[in-house]
């Protein structure tokens, strides 16, 4: 239960971050959204009728090339607000959508790294350190600094101007909408939620989760927690997944499937930045074990092993259907 | 995680106690208790909240009276009758009677709520099993629940809103009468932390906390852990561990201690909090143990101002 609260806070933070962005990306998007550019070559067929194969292309596209070779076209204003009316709709082909979504994720990661290095969060971390053994604190201090350096190494500059922030937020939404329209798998991982029936949303989330697992894309698999959360919300009944650490489950699954989660890895760096987590661990698993109540780690680890076993053996069908009710552990206490 | 709320750990819902959103009571609990004519600040408005009659003298119950009340709370079979006695004493200005009445009412309101849960309650117990609670431990909780539900059955049925109004009224009265726990639990007014209203309310809460801690009761570290944590910067779980450290047999196995203690004090929900201590992560445990040690050092040295002075943060 605690992890759900934590996940909600994380989601709120991510949503907040979507309202801000970078100069470079804003410039790129400004070029993308220039009304005078030529229409995009339509390759929406690549996404298939259900959009489930969109992830197969575009992974290697060069963001700089994309930004400098305009291929988007202006269509209609995408939102009925005055501010949004000035923003033309984007149109992406599959490759462009993927590049834009990678930029979006990168931007989110940069903003998250910035957030955790703001005085409020730094102060909270310092407060924790006050109560930990000095040698551990020293190790964590070094690890946090190193992780932050790595995470922000290629981040664009921060936007502080309010008007620019608003515009950036609109651009970000426009990019997401265009990527969704293009059927991009990453974009489908951020389904539009406003005004939608939860059952419909859950069905869509479930389909996307299958496609993500089938894609074998470790970064996407590591981010499945958001969609998993949508499924839990829709389930209505209690399942074992309500008790696992949802923010850690899918990153750990991705680790098991081959994503680098060792020292200096992106996964470990990102986790170490989060308040309440320690830093300087040999693996993401060690970090999660140290920050979780023992009973919760046991459940999370159990679920993770089940998922990995199913993926490895190809028994994916039914994997994201409603889970059975929770069963008490056979050995009583954790 | 538990099916029932932990009494005294959370303020009553805002909507149910608008009268106490602003400070009610003396500037310092060590001075004279609040009087009805005392002005309220920062949005707190006059309403139907109970005020001590001009003729009554707000007072605290003696330590022996408080102990006797606690004993009756755990053994009295006619809790409704006991509530009437407490109400009469509260009407005569006894702050502790008003406070205990609120606890009693809140406990029985919770029991009434639980009685309507049906399958949801079963699900809650199943959840606890998933979290590693044994059948034996669950059975202990169910026994407590059954026992207390029976003891509360002497109260006539009433709506949730009616329960809430009575609880709120009694808590407000306790605050007006100068009960330090009631004053400590008053929600802070909304606004920037450095606004005069918030600063004043925080200082009043801190003074109330000091008065409370001066009673030297380890259970106060437990019962008011969230409020003390809010003032000091130490974690709520650190106060819980400090209290647990002071109770013989608790630290060895907080969960077993809590479940046993619940047999007697389930209604006021204090011991449930100890269950949290068995759910700490390894990293959090390191922090909690260190903070708890400092809380205990200051508490034993009677350095309450320092304890609530924000040094923990």
CA distance A276 to chain B (A): 8
Cβ contacts below 8 Å, chain A against chain B, sum to 65
- Taking residues B188-203, what's their average pLDDT? 90
* Residue A17 clears pLDDT 60, i.e. is over it: no
Query: Left (φ > 0), alpha (ψ -120 to 50) or beta: where does B139 sit?
Result: alpha
What digits encode the pLDDT tens for the residues A98-153? 999 999 999 999 999 999 999 999 999 999 999 999 999 999 999 999 999 999 99
Best residue of A130, A242, A277, A330 to probe chain B, by most B CBs closer than 10 Å: A130
Q: How far apart are CA A183 and CA A204, in angstroms?
A: 12
- Taking residues A236-243, what's their average pLDDT? 68
Confidence at residue A320, expressed as pLDDT on a 0 to 100 scale: 87
* Residue B245 clears pLDDT 50, i.e. is over it: yes
Confidence at residue A94, expressed as pLDDT on a 0 to 100 scale: 96
* Residue A305 clears pLDDT 50, i.e. is over it: yes
Of all residues in chain B, the one with the smallest CA distance to A288 is B281
Higher pLDDT: B279 or A11? It is B279
Contact (CB<8Å) B130/A1: no
Among A67-71, A206-210, B83-87, B121-125, which is the least confidently predicted range? A67-71
What digits encode the pLDDT tens for the residues B4-30? 333 333 333 333 332 222 222 222 222
Considering Cα of A330, then B141, then B149, then B171, what sign does the dihedral take? negative
- Taking residues A3-21, what's their average pLDDT? 33
* Residue A44 clears pLDDT 50, i.e. is over it: no
Q: What residues contact B145, with CB distance under 8 A and at least 6 apart?
A: B4, B111, B114, B266
Confidence at residue A86, expressed as pLDDT on a 0 to 100 scale: 52
Map tokens 């755990």 to a residue. B74
For residue A155, which of A325, A312, A23 has the smallest C-alpha distance?
A23
For residue B297, which of B288, B282, B307 has the smallest C-alpha distance?
B307
Confidence at residue A57, expressed as pLDDT on a 0 to 100 scale: 31
B133 lies within 8 A of chain A by CB? yes
* Residue A157 clears pLDDT 60, i.e. is over it: yes
Confidence at residue B188, expressed as pLDDT on a 0 to 100 scale: 85
B233 lies within 8 A of chain A by CB? yes
Give the pLDDT band (50/70/90) at residue A30.
very low
Cβ-based contacts of B123 with chain A (< 8 Å): 238
Q: How far apart are CA B139 and CA A233, in angstroms?
A: 30
Of all residues in chain A, the one with the smallest CA distance to B233 is A127
Higher pLDDT: A80 or B205? It is B205
Of all residues in chain A, the one with the smallest CA distance to B311 is A127
- Taking residues A225-248, what's their average pLDDT? 78
A325 lies within 8 A of chain B by CB? yes
Q: How far apart are CA B258 and CA A333, in angstroms?
A: 16
Q: DSSP character for A287?
A: H
Largest pairwise CA distance in chain B:
56
What digits encode the pLDDT tens for the residues B65-85? 998 998 888 888 889 999 999
* Residue A160 clears pLDDT 70, i.e. is over it: yes
- Taking residues A158-175, what's their average pLDDT? 90
Please count the other Cβ atoms lying within 10 Å of the Cβ belonging to residue B133: 27
Confidence at residue B269, expressed as pLDDT on a 0 to 100 scale: 58
The structure tokens listed for A155 are: 């981040």
* Residue B97 clears pLDDT 90, i.e. is over it: yes
Give the pLDDT band (50/70/90) at residue B262.
low
Among A238, A293, A328, beta carbon nearest to B123: A238
Confidence at residue B211, expressed as pLDDT on a 0 to 100 scale: 94
Contact (CB<8Å) B1/A1: yes
Confidence at residue A80, expressed as pLDDT on a 0 to 100 scale: 33
Confidence at residue B96, expressed as pLDDT on a 0 to 100 scale: 95
A299 lies within 8 A of chain B by CB? yes
CA distance B28 to chain A (A): 30
Among A234-248, B122-136, B190-204, which is the least confidently predicted range? A234-248
Contact (CB<8Å) A329/B126: no
* Residue A78 clears pLDDT 60, i.e. is over it: no
Task: List the domain boundaries for chain B.
Answer: 41-307
Among A315-319, B71-75, B168-172, B271-275, which is the least confidently predicted range? B271-275
* Residue A202 clears pLDDT 90, i.e. is over it: no
CA distance A203 to chain B (A): 25
Cβ-based contacts of B130 with chain A (< 8 Å): 240, 243, 299, 326-329
Confidence at residue A306, expressed as pLDDT on a 0 to 100 scale: 94
3-state helix, strand, coil in chain B (%, to 5): 60, 0, 40
Give the pLDDT band (50/70/90) at residue A201.
confident
Contact (CB<8Å) B284/A333: no
Cβ-based contacts of A333 with chain B (< 8 Å): 132-134
- Output the average pLDDT for chain A: 75
Q: How far apart are CA B86 and CA B3, in angstroms?
A: 28
Task: List the domain boundaries for chain A.
Answer: 16-38+57-135+155-169, 196-313
Confidence at residue A22, expressed as pLDDT on a 0 to 100 scale: 32
- Taking residues A196-209, what's their average pLDDT? 88
In three-state secondary structure terms, B58 is: coil
Q: Angle at the Cα of A161 (from A159 to A165), degrees rounded to 5?
A: 65
Give the pLDDT band (50/70/90) at residue B193.
confident
Higher pLDDT: A234 or B301? It is B301
Answer for the pair B170, B95: CB distance below 8 angstroms, yes or no: no
Q: What residues contact A290, with CB distance under 8 A and at least 6 apart?
A: A278, A281, B281, B282, B283
Higher pLDDT: A83 or B63? It is B63
ipTM score for this prediction:
0.74
Higher pLDDT: B55 or B19? It is B55
The structure tokens listed for A122 are: 């730094």
Among B130, B133, B280, beta carbon nearest to A293: B280
Of all residues in chain A, the one with the smallest CA distance to B133 is A333
Q: For the full predicted model, state whether its pTM sits above 0.80.
A: no
* Residue A219 clears pLDDT 50, i.e. is over it: yes
Higher pLDDT: A36 or A251? It is A251
What digits encode the pLDDT tens for the residues A262-278? 999 999 999 999 988 99
* Residue A83 clears pLDDT 70, i.e. is over it: no
């Amino acid at each position: 239960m605690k992890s759900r609260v934590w996940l909600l806070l994380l989601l709120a933070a991510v949503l907040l971050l979507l309202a801000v962005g970078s100069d470079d990306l804003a410039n790129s998007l400004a070029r993308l959204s220039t009304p005078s550019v030529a229409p995009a070559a339509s390759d929406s067929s690549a996404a298939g009728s259900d959009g489930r194969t969109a992830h197969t292309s575009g992974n290697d596209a060069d963001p700089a090339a994309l930004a400098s070779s305009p291929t988007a076209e202006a269509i209609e204003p995408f939102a009925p607000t005055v501010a949004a009316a000035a923003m033309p709709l984007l149109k992406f082909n599959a490759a462009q959508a993927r590049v834009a979504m990678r930029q979006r994720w990168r931007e989110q990661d940069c903003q998250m790294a910035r957030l955790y290095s703001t005085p409020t969060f730094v102060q909270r971390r310092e407060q924790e350190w006050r109560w930990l053994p000095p040698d551990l604190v020293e190790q964590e201090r070094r690890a946090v600094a190193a992780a932050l350096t790595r995470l922000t190494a290629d981040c664009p500059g921060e936007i502080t101007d309010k008007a620019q922030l608003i515009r950036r937020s609109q651009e970000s939404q426009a990019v997401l909408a265009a990527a969704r329209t293009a059927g991009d798998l990453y974009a489908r991982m951020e389904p539009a939620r406003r005004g939608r029936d939860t059952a419909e949303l859950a069905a869509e989330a479930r389909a996307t989760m299958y496609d993500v697992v089938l894609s074998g894309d470790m970064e996407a698999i590591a981010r499945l927690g958001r969609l998993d959360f949508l499924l839990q919300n829709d389930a209505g009944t209690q399942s074992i997944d309500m008790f696992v650490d949802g923010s850690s489950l899918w990153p750990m699954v991705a680790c098991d499937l081959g994503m680098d989660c060792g020292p200096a890895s992106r996964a470990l760096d990102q986790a170490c930045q989060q308040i309440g987590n320690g830093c300087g661990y040999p693996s993401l698993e060690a970090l999660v074990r140290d920050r979780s109540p023992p009973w919760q780690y046991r459940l999370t680890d159990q679920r993770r092993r089940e998922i990995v076993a199913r993926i490895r053996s190809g028994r994916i069908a039914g994997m994201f259907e409603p889970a059975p009710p929770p069963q008490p552990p056979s050995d009583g206490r954790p | 995680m538990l099916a029932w709320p932990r009494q005294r750990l959370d303020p009553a819902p805002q909507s149910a106690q608008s009268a106490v959103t602003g400070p009610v009571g003396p500037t310092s609990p060590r001075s004279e208790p609040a009087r009805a004519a005392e002005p309220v600040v920062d949005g707190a408005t006059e309403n139907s909240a109970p005020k001590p009659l001009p003729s009554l003298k707000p007072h605290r119950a003696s330590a022996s009276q408080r102990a006797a009340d606690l004993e009756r709370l755990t053994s009295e079979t006619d809790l409704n009758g006991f509530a009437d006695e407490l109400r009469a004493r509260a009407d005569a200005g006894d702050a502790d009677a008003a406070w205990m009445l609120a606890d009693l009412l809140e406990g029985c309101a919770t029991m009434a709520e639980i009685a309507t849960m049906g399958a949801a309650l079963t699900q809650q117990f199943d959840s606890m099993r998933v979290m590693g609670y044994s059948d034996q431990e669950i059975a202990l909780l169910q026994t407590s629940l059954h026992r207390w539900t029976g003891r509360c059955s002497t109260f006539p049925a009433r709506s949730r809103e009616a329960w809430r109004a009575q609880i709120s009224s009694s808590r407000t009265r306790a605050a007006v009468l100068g009960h330090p726990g009631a004053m400590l639990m008053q929600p802070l007014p909304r606004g920037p932390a450095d606004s005069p209203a918030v600063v004043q309310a925080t200082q009043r809460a801190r003074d109330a906390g000091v008065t409370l801690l001066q009673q030297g009761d380890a259970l106060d570290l437990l019962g008011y852990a969230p409020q003390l944590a809010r003032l000091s910067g130490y974690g709520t779980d650190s106060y819980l561990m400090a209290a647990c450290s002071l109770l013989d047999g608790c630290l060895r196995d907080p969960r077993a201690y809590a479940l046993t203690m619940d047999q007697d004090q389930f209604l006021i929900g204090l011991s449930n909090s100890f269950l949290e201590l068995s759910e700490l992560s390894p990293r959090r445990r390191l922090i909690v143990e260190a903070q708890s040690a400092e809380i205990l050092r200051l508490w034993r040295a009677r350095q309450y101002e320092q304890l609530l002075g924000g040094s923990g943060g």
